[in-house]
Structure formats: structure tokens, C-alpha cells
Chain A
């Protein structure tokens, strides 16, 4: 899980990290003030199945565009990408067209997030 950009409001990302961990997943959180490149580098290094971004700043479209470009460039298309935070509903389809697998705006239930990841994770054990 990563928090790209300068915004430091990390209550949401930490709370979701706890929920995923409680659901039996291994969770790595990159911490604050990351660039998208930092997050992708860590994802490769740790060989993750899912990248989750938390974005509250309103910059979700340029950030996700960058992320998807890097994912393609690095050949990581089997990584599931989910995005959470302050995302207006009209932007959800825009993000999905870019290749984001699912968007969980603030207020989403833990169960939905957990279920989605469990059912859609692309990599096989």
C-alpha cells in the first residue's frame, strides 16, 4: 500500500492496512511522501500481488496515469491495482479505463475491499 504525493493524511491507509492484515494478508505500507516510482520500485522489490494507493489530494487522475504507465513499462500487468481515498464518483470510470482494477472511495466497507482483493488477485500461489 502506498501514499503518493505530499499529502500526509494517513488515517485511511493505515486503517485499511490493519483490516487487510486481519483478513490474513501480508501488508507492506510504504509510508508518506512517496513518488509513484518509489511505490513501483518497492512493489517489484517485494514481489507484491496487489498495489493499493490512498489518495486524498484530488490528484488521483495524474497519479494513476503515471502508475499505470510504469506498471506497463515494467511488465507488471499481473499486479492488481486498487485505489482509495477522496475520489468523486465521476472519476471512477476514468480510473478504470486507465487500468485501475477497482476504486474504493472513502466510506467503503472493509468487507468489500477484502472480498474484491481475494476474488480478483491475478497472481496464482
Chain B
């Protein structure tokens, strides 16, 4: 939900405002506040497009380039997903954001007993290259970029994406895919992990190393503070943990003999927007600044473009409510405004009906229109970083920066993010925040319209997506046919080579591409890794 805490007197006047990250907001900000924080234009802001990029990474902001809108979509079978993709593209969407069902995310084939009841439920089912051939049919893969929301087996899906593109006649150098591929955040929130921390991070490293050499337009990892925030983390924790996760991946690749500067420009971020407008804008401004500064200081990165914090600012799922769902349309508009005031490049919104169902076509379209109204009607493309120089915003940005650094320091102290996740420390920090927040919400100390104030008594019924047994049967039949029709000795050979690479030190990516092209299934490839690496065991601290 994510709103600030307001302490009021008996006349309803606000006495104190405490943002979720713990910063107190003053009633009035003046020039002396800037003096107090030692505000320095060159050091703290710089021009847009200039270090430290507090004001954004493009000199002309949205004047030179409108934002890219990616609405999350994908459900049922690849065929239905393909139809939704084409619809969104025809309405002006410029990038795809692909949702996979849970069995696919967890590396199970659609006919695996573990998949029962879950096939095609929260995204599309993918068993093999055959499914990608259907899902991406008639999509111009050299023009439309795709975010692939997959983590534990992101290597498999990146290889699959390259394979489908090559099959359709595109060059792998021309395709742009962004697999989410942030396994550490899965272990903190969202929970779609399979392999233990160390090999899981190695797989992330493999995909970064491979993309550096073979897929020049792909962004192999999208660091997702988003889900950390959804799981209960504060905005300051969201950025702090995201940066620490990024450093863990950088360290893995550096240990292979590369310099951060060779690959870090390909990192992108997936960050959340909901809750207090000011805190969120300040969070993004501070986050951009810290990323640039720390890349310079820790890793000696000098190349300007490599210092950009690029990514998707949006979503806001936890801010939406099941109660009075139309209110979510307005919330979405304000979240989009937040993204624009923060200078995000790519955005997407949770649809207003998402709190009680899988988004309908109409709701997904309404999110797209929300962005179009902001950019084409309201004037958000007029000038870059319009809040710059505000006594309040600059003070808050600086205070946010300090809070983020404080949270990072806690992780540093226990030896970095890999250790902090392995030990369960971060998970416990985030869960505690979620609990504290929920208590405040239930006591009415934080206000949520329609939930604990201005309620209407009638509640919107949750609509669960009817589970379409026909889809499931078709998917499983297709899979069974595939297993019969393909060259099974080629599959076995490709899987054996994959196993050798996984057990050894070689990068698994080229072997995965061979497996995909031989029509090995997602389950078969994932099980090779299960055999080689074992499975992650949660450390639960209460």
C-alpha cells in the first residue's frame, strides 16, 4: 500500500509526516534547507544527461524521446499470448513484457505432476521452442524489444529467444531481449527460485558474459527492486538492496577476468512506484545518482553511458486495492505521473482490475492510454526534471540518498548480498517491514482510501481466471507430440553437453541454444541444472 504515516491533532491538522523510509517531512522548506544539506548544483545534480544523472540520463529528457510503455501480458497458451501481443502493438505499445506461467518459471514441463492446476494460469506456458515460434509469430523481433519475466531459468529463456529469432531469420546481433534474470530478488520476494544461491548467481553471470559477446542489444539482467518493495521493503531498502544485488552480479563477472565497464551498461533496473509521490520521485533521483557514483568509486567505471541507471519505473501492484477498484485507475495515473516526474525511460502500470483478476484487455488498454494522456495532453514532455531546484525535492533527494546508504551499509557489514540472502537476513528485514506496515494499516495509522477510510461496505468480488482445461490439454498434447517427432538423439546429445558445461566452468549459454534448437524441453534443461546444482533451501528467520 505504501503511504506515509500522518500524525494529526484533534482538529485533523497534520502534525507530523513520516515517509516509509523513515524521513520526516517539514511543513515548509526554504533556501536554508539547501544550505543545511550543503546543496551543490554541479555535485548533487549536474545538467540532465550529465554526471551524476540525478536529473535524468538524457540531456533533453522526454523532448528527445517519449517513454517506452510495456504492459505486462501473456496468458494461457502461446497462441492467445501472441494475439494479445499483436493487439497491444497495434495500439501503440512499443515493447513487450512477457508473462510466463508458474511451471515455466519453475522449470517444469506442462505435464509434470508439479505443474498440475498451474499450466497457463498466470502467464503463458512454454515447453519448447515450438511455443516461442507461436508466441512471437509475426512480431518484428529486430524492432520490438521484449522483457521476459523469468528468473531461475532466465538463461534457458534467453537462449530460447535467440533461437526463435534465428529461426525466423533475424540476426542475434539485432534482437533486444531483457530477461528479468534477478535471482537474488526472487529469494528475497516473489519466491520463484530453484537452485542454491551460488550456482544461481553463476547462471546470471553466464548470461551477462554471453550477452556481452553474442547479444549486443540484449540487457541480460533487470535488477528488480520492484519485488522487494512489493514484499514490504521501504523505498530506501528497495534501492539499497537493488544496488547491492547489482554489485553481487558485477563481482561474479569481474571474477571471470572482465572489467565492469565492459558489461555494466547492459544492466537495467525494474523499480516500483506506489505510495508517496515525493518519496518516490526522490528515490529515483537519489538512486540514479548513487548508481553512477558507486560504479565510479567501486569499479572505476568511467564511460558515461555505463553509469546510467536505466530501466522500467512503474507497476505499483501493492498500491492497488480490491475495494472500489475504479480508484485504481486514478492511482495508476498518479503513479505514471510519478514515473514521469522522476524521468523514467520505460514504464508500465498494473491494470486497475489486477487486484481481483487477471487484467482484461480493456483495463490493459486503459493503462496504455493513461501514459498517452500524460505525455500528449498534460505537458510532461515540455521540460526535463521539472522539480529540480525545489527546496523540498532537493532536500528530500539528499535525505533519501543517506537512507539508502545506511541500508546498504547493513548489507556490507554482513559481507554483501549473497551472504545477506543466504543467511535469510534480508528476507527477515523485508518481512518485518511488511508486518509493521500491515499493523499500521489495520490500526488506521496509515490511510488507504476505500480500505480503512471512506469505505462503502460492498466489496468487489475476486474474479479468478477460469482455468481453461482445453488450453491445458492442447498444451500437453503438443508437448507429447513434440517429444515423439523431434530427433531424440540430438536432444540427448545437446543435454549431455549442457550437463558437462553446468558441472564444469564453461558458460552454459551456447549449450542452451543448442538444446533449444534441438527442441529440448524447458523441464529437461532445468532438470540438468537441478542435477548439477541441487535446490535452494530457505533460511527462515522469525
Contacts and interface: CB of A to CB of B under 8 A. Distances in A.
B103 interface: yes
Contacts of B190: 8-9
Contact of B431 (A14, A86, A87): A14
A57 B191 contact: no
Interface of B: 102-103, 105-106, 108, 114-118, 121-122, 186, 189-193, 230-232, 322-323, 431-432, 434-435, 438-439, 442, 451, 459, 461-465, 467, 538, 540, 542
A31 B459 CA distance: 31
B189 A11 contact: yes
B462 A57 contact: no
Given A88-B464, A107-B322, A18 B191 contact: no
Contacts of B467: 58
A77 interface: no
Q: Tell me if B's interface is mostly helix, strand, loop or mixed.
A: loop
B191 A58 contact: no
A88 B439 contact: no
A6 B189 contact: no
Interface of A: 5-11, 14-15, 17-19, 21, 27, 29, 31-33, 57-59, 62, 86-90, 105-107, 109-111
A6 B464 contact: no
Contact of B102 (A57, A86, A88): A57
A62 B231 contact: no
A62 B117 CA distance: 8
B248 to A, nearest CB: 20
A32 B191 contact: yes
Nearest to B538: A31
Contacts of B114: 6
B442 A15 contact: no
Contacts of B538: 31-32
Which of A6, A7, A10, A57 counts the most chain B CB atoms within 10 A?
A6
Given A15-B435, A21-B542, A62-B117, A8 B462 contact: no
Name, among A9, A11, A59, A105, the residue most crowded by chain B CB atoms within 10 Å (CB to CB): A11
Contacts of B322: 106-107
Contact of B542 (A11, A27, A90): A27
A107 to B, nearest CB: 7
30 contacts: A5-B118, A6-B106, A6-B114, A6-B115, A6-B192, A8-B186, A8-B190, A8-B191, A9-B191, A11-B431, A15-B232, A15-B434, A15-B438, A18-B431, A18-B432, A19-B438, A27-B542, A31-B540, A32-B191, A32-B538, A33-B106, A57-B117, A57-B118, A58-B467, A59-B117, A86-B462, A86-B464, A88-B461, A88-B462, A109-B442
Nearest to A56: B122
Contacts of A15: 232, 431, 434-435, 438
A19 B437 CA distance: 12
Contacts of A57: 102, 117-118, 121-122
Given A18-B431, A58-B121, A29 B189 contact: no
Given A58-B467, A107-B322, A10 B462 contact: no
A1 B128 CA distance: 36
Given A11-B231, A11-B232, A86-B462, A110 B102 contact: no
Contacts of B461: 88-90
A62 B113 CA distance: 14
A86 B442 CA distance: 18
A116 to B, nearest CB: 16
A107 B103 contact: no
| A interface, over-half SS | loop
Given A6-B106, A11-B189, A15-B434, 5 more contacts: A5-B117, A11-B431, A29-B540, A58-B467, A89-B461
Nearest to A86: B462
Contacts of A86: 462, 464
A17 B442 contact: no
The 6 closest A-B pairs by CB, nearest first: A8-B191, A6-B102, A18-B435, A14-B431, A31-B538, A58-B464
Contacts of A18: 431-432, 435, 542
A103 to B, nearest CB: 12
Contacts of A88: 461-464
Given A18-B431, A107-B451, A10 B191 contact: yes
A111 to B, nearest CB: 8
Contacts of A107: 322-323, 451
Nearest to B323: A107
A18 B540 CA distance: 12
A59 B115 CA distance: 11
B434 A14 contact: yes
A29 B118 CA distance: 23
Contacts of B117: 5, 57, 59, 62
Contacts of A89: 459, 461-462
Nearest to A31: B538
Contact of B230 (A11, A32, A62): A11
A7 B102 contact: yes
Contacts of A5: 102, 117-118
A88 B435 CA distance: 24
A14 B191 contact: no
Contacts of B439: 19, 110
B22 to A, nearest CB: 19
B190 to A, nearest CB: 5
A27 B542 CA distance: 9
Given A15-B438, A33-B106, A107-B322, A8 B431 contact: no
A113 B322 CA distance: 20
B537 to A, nearest CB: 8
Q: Which of B186, B191, B230 has the most CB of A within 10 A?
A: B191
Contact of A19 (B191, B231, B435, B464): B435
A15 B428 CA distance: 11
Nearest to A109: B442
B234 to A, nearest CB: 14
Contacts of B435: 14-15, 18-19
Nearest to A14: B431
